[in-house]
């Protein structure tokens, strides 16, 4: 499956699509990027005068790239418009802020995929290669 095909199958659209590019994907993990446009609505009210990206949005970026994109790849031809995706758990540690106009890279490593549940070790890095957040995310894909 081509990387572009995976992105086209994501059940999200702008402004809630947080995947710009997939750099690598195989049965063990995925790596992808997203750049935060300074005009995204959540920046208008998140820390007046010094906006940063909310942690819930960083978690969503990691889930979309690290779990959903990998799940689509693993399911391959069985993934379709009737497939349901749901976050089941996450445990994320935040180390550094992400500011408007920053580009981040998400690296995900599959822990397991069984009975429709995918759990991954996920890490997000900024353009300097510094870890901004990391942890585990799991979701159900049925």
Query: 23-29 — which CB contacts under 8 Å span 24+ positions?
Result: 23/105, 25/69, 25/70, 25/73, 26/73, 27/73, 27/74, 27/110, 28/109, 28/110, 29/70, 29/107, 29/108, 29/109, 29/110, 29/120
- How high is the pLDDT of residue 84? 78
Write the CATH number for 99: 3.10.129.10
- How high is the pLDDT of residue 126? 98
Q: What is the tens place of the pLDDT at every residue in 9-64?
A: 888 988 899 999 999 999 999 999 999 999 998 888 877 888 999 999 999 999 99
Query: In terms of residue numbers, what domain contains 74?
Result: 3-141
Please report which confidence band the pLDDT of residue 87 belongs to, taking 50, 70 and 90 as the band edges.
confident
Q: Which residues are catalytic?
A: 46
Number of domains the chain contains: 1
């Amino acid at each position: 499956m081509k990387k572009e095909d995976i992105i086209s199958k994501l059940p999200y659209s702008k402004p809630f699509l947080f995947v710009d590019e997939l750099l690598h994907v195989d049965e063990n993990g995925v790596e992808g990027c997203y750049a935060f446009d300074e005009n995204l609505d959540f920046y208008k009210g998140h820390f007046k005068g010094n906006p940063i990206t909310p942690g819930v949005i960083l978690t969503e970026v990691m889930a979309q790239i690290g779990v959903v994109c990998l799940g689509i790849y693993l399911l391959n031809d069985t993934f379709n418009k009737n497939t349901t995706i749901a976050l089941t758990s996450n445990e994320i540690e935040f180390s550094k802020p992400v500011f408007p106009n920053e580009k981040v890279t998400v690296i995900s490593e599959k822990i397991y995929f069984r009975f429709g549940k995918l759990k991954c070790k996920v890490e997000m890095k900024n353009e300097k290669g510094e870890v901004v957040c990391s942890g585990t995310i799991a979701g159900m894909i049925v």
